[in-house]
Amino acid sequence: MSAQQDRFVHDRLPPREAWPQLRYDFPELQFSGRLNLVEELLDKAPAKGWGDRPLLRSSRITLSYAEVRERVDRICRVLTEDLGLVPGNRVLLRGGNSVAMALAWLAVTKAGLVAVATMPLLRALELGDIIDKAQPVAALCDIKLLDELEVARRDHTALRTVVPFNTLDAPGSLAVLSAQKKGGFAPCPTDADDIAMMAFTSGTTGKPKAAVHTHRDVMAACEAWPRHTLRATPDDIVVGSPPLAFTFGLGGLLVFPMWAGASVYFPDAPYSPESLVRTINEVGATICYTAPTFYRQMAPFAREHGVGKLRISVSAGEGLPDATRQLWKQASGIEMLDGIGATEMFHIFISSAGADIRPGAIGKVVPGYTAKVVDDDGNEVPRGTIGKLAVIGPTGCKYMDDPRQANYVKGGWNYPGDAFMQDDDGYFFYQARADDMIITAGYNVGGPEVEDALLRHPAVAECGVIGKPDEERGMIVKAFCVLKPGHTGDAAMAKALQDHVKASIAPFKYPREIEFVASLPRTETGKLQRFKLRQS
């Protein structure tokens, strides 16, 4: 029976017939009815021999699993005793990647509350949309990010209480309040299908969608890609740039390391490409998570400084151009571990590592999941044919109170919105976002393929490719290019890039129009916002 007294989220889940199929095909995916993910990952760590091992690291502090549990328990008491929160209440979390943010997320979830993490760069208007949707009754907020939240709070009275963190001495701060508490907080006896978190999609247009994940979902994700592909060990030290508010970051930089008994290093300030390479060397990091664009920008610094003990470079969040994969391999000596996941699925469901990596492919389906490439009617297409990706597994899309559920889940399958091709050996090759496929004069052209070709030219630092409406061809391929210093974006350069693409891939795919720009629009997680390019 559910322990969550506040049924706000439960009551707004899609009807069961609109849910995706959820399959638990392996023994490790079988969980008991009562399940609290923080109890599993943190409270049970000492029994696995990890109690004294480091978990959360920064330049100022290193906390063992046992010490993290003690601090989490104190915060749980603040949430339940001082703030009077009850299981099922939503708690908005606002902060960058830090030890304090990780402690806050773990405490909210352990107490049976629903974590609603938000991207640090969101402004008051965007925060207001999330508050409207989630109706959080309290917020834990980095003191440096309070201003925008306070502006949003004035117009959204559901948010009653805001407690600042990342400050040690401010009256009413989380540190001051929790220091007055004792530990020993018993984890909320949540049901496996009780709500652990709401993950708001970064979105491209329209109102954000709230993807809901249960305690079972998060633990099932731990037993899929981390177990079968990543294979981290307790000796691993993990670093990376994805925000904890993004499921790529939450999994890679908190939940999955805890599942493996590993530790995570959080920086004092957001990473730059150079500072991430320096941190890898200084702290002895062995696993790194970031987006392809960041790896491309890190490559010259990796070539200059080396990458120390780094053994795994995980790339996700957007398509990985093979040119970037090869650039990073040449600079670091490490073969990129690529993967595709989704906020709606929590994390990565197609990936390959080690000897299973095939050039140009993202990989094979992760054990526990099933994937296929289908046509518009949901019928699987022949191997080697481009179509839409459809996935089922132990996690799946459950939007809260959103008619767009019907767009994502069809016939029990999740449709992440990507165009793919699968070869005869089962490898999946990313083509484009389904709505980014360019159809020009009857030919299908994937923007990322053209981007990869452009990135192989020594003058190109970054690029984005879209389809531009054209009366004669329906669409033409248009490229937006950021050039490296010392190169001029003129007609001669445009011609050189066009010729380069024609020589690299099928000539009909070349960009008939090239616009040189100073920068490309990206989300906070590094994804290229092609919709903004189309609007320009």
Are 99 and 503 in contact, with CB atoms under 8 Å apart? no
Distance CA 244, CA 250 (A): 4
pLDDT value of position 251: 97
Domains identified in the chain and CATH numbers: 36-189 (3.40.50.980), 221-433 (3.40.50.12780), 437-535 (3.30.300.30)
Q: What is the mean pLDDT of residues 506-514?
A: 90
Q: What is the mean pLDDT of residues 41-45?
A: 98
**Exposure string over 307-341, b if 16+ CB within 10 A, otherwise e:** bbebebbbbbbbbbbbbbbbbbeebbebbbbbbbb
CB-based contacts of 450, cutoff 8 Å, min separation 6:
465, 477, 479, 501, 505, 509, 510, 511
Task: Write the DSSP assignment of 130-175 as a string of letters.
Answer: HHHHH--SEEEEEGGGHHHHHHHHHT-TT--EEEEES-SSSTT-HH
pLDDT value of position 400: 97
The Cβ of residue 291 has, within 10 Å, a number of other Cβ atoms equal to 25
pLDDT score of 365 more than 80: yes
pLDDT value of position 43: 98
Bridge partners of 99, per DSSP, are none
Q: For all residues of the chain together, what is the average pLDDT?
A: 93
Q: What is the mean pLDDT of residues 293-309?
A: 94
Range of weakest confidence among 228-232, 357-361, 396-400, 404-408: 357-361
Helix (H) or strand (E) segment spanning residue 264:
strand 263-265
pLDDT value of position 286: 98
pLDDT score of 318 more than 50: yes
Q: How confident is the model at residue 433 (pLDDT cuts 50, 70, 90)?
A: confident
Q: What are phi and psi of 361, to 5 degrees?
A: -100, 145
What pTM, to 2 d.p., does this model score?
Answer: 0.86
Vertex 420, ends 246 and 411: CA angle to 5°? 80
Q: What is the mean pLDDT of residues 424-447?
A: 81
Q: What is the mean pLDDT of residues 78-82?
A: 97
Torsion over CA: 125, 127, 129, 132 (sign): negative
Distance CA 320, CA 286 (A): 21
Q: How confident is the model at residue 528 (pLDDT cuts 50, 70, 90)?
A: confident
Q: What is the mean pLDDT of residues 141-152?
A: 93
pLDDT digits 0-9 by tens, 203-232: 444 578 999 999 999 999 999 999 999 999
Of all residues in the chain, what percent carry a pLDDT higher than 90? 78
Enter the tokens of residue 10: 């439960």
Q: How confident is the model at residue 442 (pLDDT cuts 50, 70, 90)?
A: low
pLDDT digits 0-9 by tens, 85-109: 999 999 999 999 999 999 999 999 9
**410: helix, strand or coil:** strand
Q: What are phi and psi of 524, to 5 degrees?
A: -65, -25
| Neighbour-count burial of 124, counting CB atoms closer than 10 A to its CB (0-12 exposed, 13-18 middle, 19+ buried) | middle
Which is nearest to 393 in space by CA: 320, 342, 337?
342
pLDDT value of position 205: 44
pLDDT score of 378 more than 90: yes
Are 75 and 93 in contact, with CB atoms under 8 Å apart? no
**57: helix, strand or coil:** strand
pLDDT value of position 202: 56
Distance CA 460, CA 407 (A): 36
Q: What is the mean pLDDT of residues 225-247?
A: 95
Distance CA 194, CA 35 (A): 9
- Measured in whole angstroms, the distance separating CA 182 from the mean position of its chain's CA atoms is 34
The Cβ of residue 381 has, within 10 Å, a number of other Cβ atoms equal to 16
Distance CA 295, CA 279 (A): 14
Q: What is the mean pLDDT of residues 309-318?
A: 91
pLDDT digits 0-9 by tens, 115-145: 999 988 888 888 998 999 999 999 999 999 9
pLDDT value of position 204: 42
Cα-trace Rg, the chain: 23
